[in-house]
Amino acid sequence: MAWGTLGLASRRLFAAGLTPLEAATWRAAGACILLIAYCLLFARPALRVARRDLPLFAAYGAVSVAGFMTVYFTAIALTTVATAAVLLYTAPIWVVLLARLLFAEPVTRTKVASAALAVAGCALVISGARTGALRITGAGVLAGLGAGLTYALYSIFGKTALRRYSPLTTVVYALGFGVLFLLAALFLVAAPGGLQRPPDAAVPALVYVILVPTTAAYLLYIGGLQWVEAGRASVVATLEPVVASASGALILRESFGAVQWLGAALVLGGVLLIQADRLLGRDDTSPPGSS
């Protein structure tokens, strides 16, 4: 739900003059600085990682912070926002498949049905009220699928890091390396002068983006991966576009028609289905012999 509020705040950032890459860099850098300051004051052990694990965090930051943002913006540029978003929310399918390969998480009928409901619901929520909102190009589809894959890998990298580190440590290092790669991209591609001071009009929205849909959302999601399978967590996270679309309708008076309400119902149905499976005692995550 916190991630779902990002769109509203981003509009203010872009209206104030920030580019998407600048906004992404400030977002990641602000959250990283805030978390490092917290660790220095209250949780210094959280900053300690083994040298052998630095490549893991570097890959995490490069792929699922900097890489994800880059291919997602590319997909938007080559297609439309709606098309890119629909392709992005193939992520639950990627997560279920990768979690099976890497963590031996079982692919159950309930999990497959939940992911299918969530992905179909996202497609309806995003595109239901706008005729011609989807535009397909080969390069755009590849970029969109790449966005879904790199977004999915956030859960996979996170699950791997949590085997040895706390959620706080995991988020700090993922964001930290992500910032380094974003700054490199900004310097080499977009702004040779480096990251510029944000306009005054952008500061309130930027503070919100750093605190809520970045710092809080990342910690909550990574924290949840301690107890929930990556596949389940990815399905639950498909609430994001529902929250984004509903808040746009309520606050910005954007269109939210019957087809989008149907999509929202499908997403919620997928989330409830995969959670009901746990509550009824059919939780795949229970260790053998547990009650």
Q: What is the DSSP string of 117-175?
A: HHHHHHHHHHHTTSTT-----HHHHHHHHHHHHHHHHHHHHHHHHTTTS-HHHHHHHHH
Lowest-pLDDT range of 51-65, 208-222, 237-251: 237-251
pLDDT band for 282, please (50, 70, 90 cuts): low
Q: Would you state the pLDDT for residue 193?
A: 64
Q: Would you state the pLDDT for residue 128?
A: 53
pLDDT tens-digit series, residues 183-224: 988 888 766 666 788 899 999 999 999 999 899 999 999 998
**In the predicted model, what is the mean pLDDT of the chain?**
80
Asked if the structure places residue 228 within a domain, the reply is yes
pTM, rounded to two decimals: 0.77
| C-alpha distances in Å from residue 157, one per residue of 123, 202, 246 | 26, 32, 30
Q: Would you state the pLDDT for residue 129?
A: 46
Asked if the structure places residue 120 within a domain, the reply is yes
Asked if the structure places residue 284 within a domain, the reply is no
Domain span at residue 157? 3-279
Q: Would you state the pLDDT for residue 212?
A: 95
Lowest-pLDDT range of 61-70, 75-84, 90-99: 75-84
How far apart (Å, rounded) are the C-alpha atoms in residues 160 and 169?
13
Report helix, strand or coil for 252. Answer: coil
Asked if the structure places residue 287 within a domain, the reply is no
Q: Please check the confidence at residue 69 and state whether its pLDDT lies above 50.
A: yes
Asked if the structure places residue 290 within a domain, the reply is no
pLDDT band for 179, please (50, 70, 90 cuts): very high
Asked if the structure places residue 80 within a domain, the reply is yes
Asked if the structure places residue 289 within a domain, the reply is no
How far apart (Å, rounded) are the C-alpha atoms in residues 153 and 35?
22
pLDDT band for 227, please (50, 70, 90 cuts): confident
Q: Would you state the pLDDT for residue 203?
A: 94
Q: Would you state the pLDDT for residue 12?
A: 84
Q: Would you state the pLDDT for residue 285?
A: 42
Q: Would you state the pLDDT for residue 169?
A: 96
pLDDT tens-digit series, residues 9-52: 877 888 898 888 888 899 999 999 999 999 999 999 999 999 99
How far apart (Å, rounded) are the C-alpha atoms in residues 99 and 153?
10
Average pLDDT value for residue range 174-181:
95
pLDDT tens-digit series, residues 41-55: 999 999 999 999 999
pLDDT band for 131, please (50, 70, 90 cuts): very low
Asked if the structure places residue 291 within a domain, the reply is no
How many distinct structural domains can be found in the chain?
A: 1
CA 290 to chain centre: 32
Residue of 25, 107, 65, 112 lying closest to 222 (CA atoms): 65
Say how many CA atoms lie within 13 Å of 6 toward its Cβ: 19
Q: Would you state the pLDDT for residue 286?
A: 40
